[in-house]
Amino acid sequence: MSARFLILLSLILTLFSCEKKKVELISPSIIPAPQSLQVNPGYFTINEATTVSNNDDFTASHDFLINYLEQVTGREWETKYSDNNAIILEYDAQISSKEGYSIISKDRNITIKASTDAGAFYGVQSLIQLIPLENYQSGVHIPAVTIKDQPGFAYRGMHLDVSRHMFDVDFIKKYIDAMAMLKMNNFHWHLTDDQGWRIEIKKYPRLQEVAAYRDSTLIGHYNDTPQQYDGKRYGGFYTQEEVREVIAFAKARHITVIPEIELPGHAQAAIAAYPELGCAGQKVNVATKWGVFENIYCPSEETFTFLENVLDEVVALFPSKYIHIGGDEAPKTQWKTSAVAQKVIQENGLKDEHELQSYFIQRIEKYLNSKGRQIIGWDEILEGGLAPNATVMSWRGTKGAVEAAKAGHDVIMTPTSHCYFDYYQSENDNEPLAIGGFLPLEKVYHFNPIPDELNEEESKFIKGVQGNVWTEYMTTADQVEYMAFPRMLAMSEVAWTQPAHKNYDNFINRLEYFHQRLDVLDINYANHLYEVEGKLNDQQQYELSTKTLGKEIRFTTDGSVPNSTSTLYDQPIPFTDDLTIKAGVFKDEKLLGKLFTQEFIFHKGVGATISINKEPHKSYAGSGAAGLINGIKGSDSRYGDSEWLGFWGEDIEIEIEFETEVEVNEIELRFYHAPGQWIYAPEKYYLKLETEKGIISDLITTPKENENLVISNYNSERFKGYEDLKFSKLRLVIPNYGTIPDSNQGAGNKAWTFIDEIIIR
């Protein structure tokens, strides 16, 4: 890939004409990055006489390009066969990829070649990104380039949950347009859940009258105590005509709309409308808060008739090969006591309720197969035996993906650790309320969709990736955009660009320019490009950096707010005592982003040797074991940052060995506690302090101090009789909480343990 493509700087070419005028060209900044791009001498100028030549009837691509050009130039565009002063769409049988294309831009014309309309469309999207964002009236100059490009993955998706909060058709179209710009080709439309049914089903009018509306909505976070509600009726649904409108809009952009109709769980809204569909035999209301609910579909013939009738209307609306049926988070509590469910288990020779869920899903799969469709489900559909033709969306990490791929099933990768855009994206305290977690742009960008456990043949079953936008905490379209952008741009490069052509620093430089395009499109993106990043090096010094070029960092250590005259950062800052660093990114004496603050606690564990008997989960490895005694606390509200270590279902033992014996007066432990995200502080742990006289061992219980953190202090009062002793080692034995109990989110799964700084004074 040309180096000039990878640098976002103005490329000025002086071209000698009779006026000897200078033409300023912008270096190509295409997202997602093409597989090959070469910048050549010269440029093409779009002027009043430029035409479009659609030599091979690439209809959708031609129409999209003409519409765009007419919008930005304010004139009508002519389509005629020409090779001079023209943008040419041309068929090329040599391009084997159905979504591949090439672009050759030179002084006489621009030629986009492809073997399909889809490939030509993606060529058009790249061309649009080559066109400057202004000065249309005076002629538009496009650098001479040669591009050869094709996608890395066949499935490139974005998801949007409209059940928790609903967004109008105009916004859905805007979302799809942004996807098309980024060469994404599957829109996963999450239409039904406990909190609302959002698609019109004519055979069942109570889905529109009852299931589409809830009486109230949770205010604040799920983990808040006490929970509060707004007391306002909320809801709505998309008519079938609106659904057709969205599908047609997406089709013109080569995007497939995949509907999700949740089953057997996340069905409380439907059961509120038709109580006979549940096992409890009682009326329930549409859910007013988030979470997992025990009201799931009863496996009765009446339920299957209902679902088949619903799916008949869904299939008639959506031409998608896939119908998403959910399959996740379905508590089996009611099935265990339901005579109907137990009868189905007995009559079909099923072992338990997990196999009953598999039976439920396989029955729906067979019905959809009979309609010429296939199912996609979340990775819980693996439980009890996978439906034979199902595609798995792996969201609970990568284990489900590995299991499915090894069994020969297609997989879409969408693990929470890298693909859930409802997680926080910055450690700034003023970020909008989110479900939790921490997923910065860089982590999204570095996601590798191919699990290490798969060989080359098994890897072929990984069909692509998807970013998910769950909207429990997104009440407006602006909030959706803020959470989705620019992480959607990073995900597009994960999905499209080959790893060998990816480079995060260069992506950031392209993104800085791309922000102007998002401004023009009126997309409310989150701009964290001008924030300071910090890390502790091996010499116990703190390094500051910022990703964009041409900026400077200024900082203070006296508690004052940095300004343009504060100390210029040019070397790592030593950390030998308690310290607070405040820093900012400046250009031309102006602070560009938000202030950065990092506090350091210089305690007795800093510099000691630490080991853990288990590796943290690779998605939540933090700064490794050394990060537990580096003097830096993790975020109080975001468990996925560089300081929190996550362990899934494992008991852990931590050993800290001091270089010389030390007095220990106090030990502070911090555990994250967020049951809504399957994270539980341990109910107990053991402390062992080693001395010359032996080991002091104590069982410690953990008091709960607030909704997110469990903080335990072990002080010298516990050391009576040992006040004069010094300690050479400290050991912690921390049992995992265990299996998440029924009626809780993630019930039946292993709990996570998250731990950060171990402060020793």
CATH number at residue 235: 3.20.20.80
Residue 478 has pLDDT above 90, yes or no: yes
- Bridge partners for 591 per DSSP: 586
**How many domains does the chain divide into?**
4
> Band of the pLDDT at 136, cuts 50, 70, 90?
low
In this structure, the answer to whether residues 318 and 455 fall within a common structural domain is: yes
Is there a single domain that holds both residue 270 and residue 142? Answer: no
The answer as to whether 526 is a domain residue is no
372 and 417, same domain (yes or no): yes
Which has the higher per-residue pLDDT, 647 or 714? 647
Kindly state the average pLDDT of the residues 312-340: 95
Examine the pLDDT at 13 and tell me if it is beyond 80.
Answer: no
**pLDDT for 732-754, tens place per residue?**
999 999 999 887 878 888 999 99
Q: Which of the residue ranges 88-92, 98-102, 363-367, 619-623 would you say has the lowest mean pLDDT?
A: 619-623
Q: Which of 417, 390, 246, 210 is nearest to 319 (CA)?
A: 246
Question: Given this model, what pLDDT does residue 19 score?
Answer: 43
- Percent residues over pLDDT 70 in the chain: 94
Q: What is the pLDDT of residues 35-50, one digit of tens each?
A: 999 999 999 999 999 9
Residue 135 has pLDDT above 70, yes or no: no
Which residues, in sequence order, are CB contacts of 455 under 8 Å at separation 6+? none
Whether the per-residue pLDDT at 24 is higher than 90: the answer is: no
Q: Are residues 258 and 401 in the same domain?
A: yes
pLDDT in tens, 579-611: 999 999 999 999 998 899 999 999 999 999 999
Residue 560 per-residue DSSP state: P
Asked if the model's pLDDT at residue 333 lies above 80, the reply is yes
Helix or strand holding residue 709 (H, E): strand 709-715
Instruction: Give the CATH number for residue 624.
Output: 2.60.120.260
Residues contacting residue 135 through CB under 8 Å, at least 6 positions apart: none
Res. 386: pLDDT tops 80: no
Judge whether residue 16 has pLDDT over 60. Answer: no
Domain boundary among the residues 566, 600, 634 is at 600
Structure token pair of residue 308: 């088949």
Angle among Cα 187, 196, 372 to the nearest 5 degrees reads 45
Instruction: Report whether pLDDT(203) > 90.
Output: yes
Whether 353 and 230 map to the same domain: the answer is yes
Looking at the fold, whether 571 and 616 belong to one and the same domain comes out as: no
At 550-584, the pLDDT tens digits run: 999 999 999 999 999 999 999 999 988 999 999 99
Question: Which pLDDT belongs to residue 489?
Answer: 98
Q: Quickly state the pLDDT bin for 6 (edges 50, 70, 90).
A: very low
Residue 11 pLDDT more than 90?
A: no
Are 757 and 629 in contact by the 8 Å Cβ rule? The answer is yes
- pLDDT 10s digits, 51-87: 999 877 799 999 999 999 998 888 899 899 888 999 9
**Alpha-carbon distance 384 to 361, whole Å?**
10
Instruction: Flag whether pLDDT at 238 surpasses 60.
Output: yes
In a domain, 5, yes or no: no
- Structure confidence at residue 706 (pLDDT): 60
pLDDT at 88 over 50: yes
Give the per-residue pLDDT at 326. 95
Nearest to 442 by CA among 641, 585, 639: 641
In a domain, 528, yes or no: no
* pLDDT tens per residue across span 651-694: 999 999 998 988 888 899 999 998 888 999 999 999 888 877 77
Cα gap 367→751, rounded to integer Å: 35
Whether residue 320 is found in the same domain as residue 425: yes
Task: Report whether pLDDT(139) > 80.
Answer: no
Q: Where are the beta strands (DSSP E) in 73-219?
A: 86-91, 101-105, 109-114, 140-149, 155-161, 186-190, 192-193, 196-197, 213-214, 218-219
Specify the 3-state DSSP secondary structure of 346.
helix
Q: Based on the domain organization, do 284 and 340 belong to the same domain?
A: yes
Q: Which of the four pLDDT bands, split at 50, 70 and 90, describes residue 714?
A: confident
Residues in contact with 329: Cβ distance below 8 Å, sequence separation at least 6, in sequence order: 265, 266, 292, 380, 745, 746
pLDDT at 505: 92
**Structural domain of 712:** 609-760
Which residues contact residue 20 at a Cβ distance below 8 angstroms, ignoring those fewer than 6 apart?
A: 14
Strand pairing class (192-193; 140-149): unpaired
In a domain, 4, yes or no: no
Give the pLDDT score at 94. 95
What's the CA gap between 286 and 272, in Å, rounded? 6
The predicted-structure confidence for 205-216, as pLDDT tens digits, reads as follows 999 999 999 999
Domain boundary among 102, 131, 149: 149
In this predicted structure, the answer to whether residue 720 has a pLDDT above a threshold of 90 is: no
Q: Write out pLDDT tens, residues 492-522.
A: 999 999 999 999 999 999 999 999 999 999 9
Q: Are residues 497 and 579 in the same domain?
A: no
Catalytic residues: 193, 266, 329
Residue 321 three-state SS: coil
The reply to whether 92 falls in a domain is yes
CA dihedral 743, 748, 749, 750 (to 10 degrees): 100
Tell me how far apart the alpha carbons of residues 75 and 50 are, in angstroms, rounded to a whole number: 11
Q: Single out the residue in 113, 132, 149 at which a domain terminates.
A: 149
Of 11-15, 400-404, 453-457, 705-709, which gets the smallest average pLDDT?
Answer: 11-15
Per-residue pLDDT, averaged over 464-471, amounts to 98
571, 629: one domain:
no
**Encoding tokens for residue 111?**
């030629």
pTM: 0.87
Nearest to 163 by CA among 412, 438, 409, 472: 472
Positive or negative: CA dihedral 454, 456, 461, 462: positive
What CATH number did the domain enclosing 53 receive?
A: 3.30.379.10
Cα distances (Å, whole numbers) of residue 381 to 190, 224, 335, 388, 630: 17, 31, 17, 11, 41
Residue closest to 756 by CA, chosen among 543, 649, 562, 601: 601
Q: CB neighbours (10 Å) of residue 650?
A: 17
In this structure, what token pair is assigned to residue 437? Answer: 């977690």
Q: Mark whether 109 and 166 lie in a shared domain.
A: no
Residue 2 has pLDDT above 60, yes or no: no
Give me the chain's average pLDDT, please. 91
4 pLDDT exceeds 50? Answer: no
Q: Do 145 and 159 lie in a common domain?
A: no
Looking at 575-693, which runs of residues are DSSP E strands? 579-587, 590-591, 596-600, 609-612, 645-648, 652-662, 666-672, 684-691
> Given pLDDT bands bounded at 50, 70 and 90, which one contains residue 721?
low
